[in-house]
Amino acid sequence: MSAPSTAESFRLGVVIITMGNRPAELNALIESVRAQEGPAVEFAVVGQGVKLPPLPEGVRTVELPENLGIPGGRNVGIELFGPHGREVDAVLFLDDDGLLPRTDSARLLREAFTADPELGIVSFRIEDPDTGVTQRRHVPRLRASDPLRSSRVTTFLGGASAVRCKVFEQAGQLPAEFFYAHEETDLAWRALDAGWAIDYRADVVLHHPATSPARHAAYFHNVARNRVWLARRNLPAPLVPLYLGTWFLLTLARRPSAEGLKAWLGGFRAGFREPCGPRRPMRWRTVWRLTRMGRPPII
């Protein structure tokens, strides 16, 4: 598929996965996307082992027999737009309890992708709708003190992002094995290794209630297991022990609760014991690129 020549011809699709427990928020999110300036955005909604609530006409849907996890569910949504999402030019991933408060977000994304043919992924700014605060962990860079500053980055936020579909063709889709945690960084590293760029755009905003990632029951286990998988799948062999050793020490320094540490250590062991999918170590050129951007892949 040839690249669109203008922003107006750049086609956007939205993938939303849901557990079916937030029907009002889901429909509000869809309406906020429909209110965007410019050409209509296509929709794909994936029910994770649940029956979907009533949705507006024209929304592509699938009800999965089981919960495939965040990356697995989003991969199914991508395919609702054809192989690797080819019926659109970029796919937005939006959390089902999010909301686009501005009507120019789709236009800004179209303009960004068409102005920069090397731009593969855009990470949005997540803002709490009540306080207007953007949490530091929602700014995907080490220097996160100023969330209003846009910049090139090395990873992105899965529930508030847009990915050019050519990235999926060249780098593959999200790692379904991960179920939850670090799946964005896995795709980001592969995209960077394929030559794509990633931008954090402070002017593309998603409203989302402030939450803690530890609210998920498997948080500590999955974070540790998937950290090991991330290294095993993507890093050159000499960097694997450096990366994992750094994160092991950082975790201990953060003094998690005894219960959290036990779950984390169990996940860390599982990362070595369980299969993690194909190994495709990044080129040393990509390691240097990450280092020059301030995020060497040992931290």
The pLDDT tens digits for 72-85 are 999 999 999 999 99
7-211 CATH pick, 3.40.190.10, 3.50.50.60, 3.90.550.60, 3.40.50.300: 3.90.550.60
Domain boundaries, the chain: 7-211, 216-282
Is the confidence at residue 1, as pLDDT, over 70? no
pLDDT of residue 217: 54
The pLDDT tens digits for 118-161 are 999 999 999 999 999 999 999 999 888 899 999 999 999 999 99
The pLDDT tens digits for 280-291 are 999 999 999 999
Is the confidence at residue 44, as pLDDT, over 90? yes
Rounded to whole angstroms, the Cα distance separating 135 from 294 reads 20
Rounded to whole angstroms, the Cα distance separating 75 from 84 reads 9
Q: What is the band of 299 on the pLDDT scale with cuts at 50, 70, 90?
A: confident
Query: In degrees, to the nearest 5, what angle opens at C-alpha 211 toward C-alphas 66 and 107?
Result: 80
- The dihedral through the CA atoms of 233, 187, 30, 208 has a sign that is positive
Rounded to whole angstroms, the Cα distance separating 252 from 24 reads 41
- Report the predicted TM-score, pTM, of the whole model to 2 decimal places: 0.95
- Length of the chain equals 299
pLDDT of residue 214: 57
- Whether residue 36 contacts residue 105, with contact meaning beta carbons closer than 8 Å, is answered with yes
Q: What is the band of 213 on the pLDDT scale with cuts at 50, 70, 90?
A: low
pLDDT of residue 171: 97
Q: Write the single-letter amino acid at 7.
A: A
Is the confidence at residue 106, as pLDDT, over 60? yes
Q: What string of DSSP letters covers 140-208?
A: -SS--S-TT--EE-S---TTEEEEEHHHHHHH----GGGSSSSHHHHHHHHHHHTT-EEEEEEEEEEE-
Average pLDDT, the chain: 94
